[in-house]
Structure 1
Amino acid sequence: MSDERRVTTSADKPTIIVAIRRDIERGDRTMRFLAERHLVSRRLVRKALNSPALPPRTQLPPFEVPAKTRFGPRPTPP
Structure 2
Amino acid sequence: MEFTEYGFPPDYLDEISSAVQKNDIRDLIEEGLIKAKPIKGTSRARARKADAQRAKGRRKGQGSRREAPTRGTPRSTAG
What is the TM-score with the length of structure 2 in the denominator? 0.26
More helix by share: 1
Between 1 and 2, higher relative CO (CA 8 Å, sep ≥ 6) is seen in 1
Greater radius of gyration (CA): 2
What is the TM-score with the length of structure 1 in the denominator? 0.26
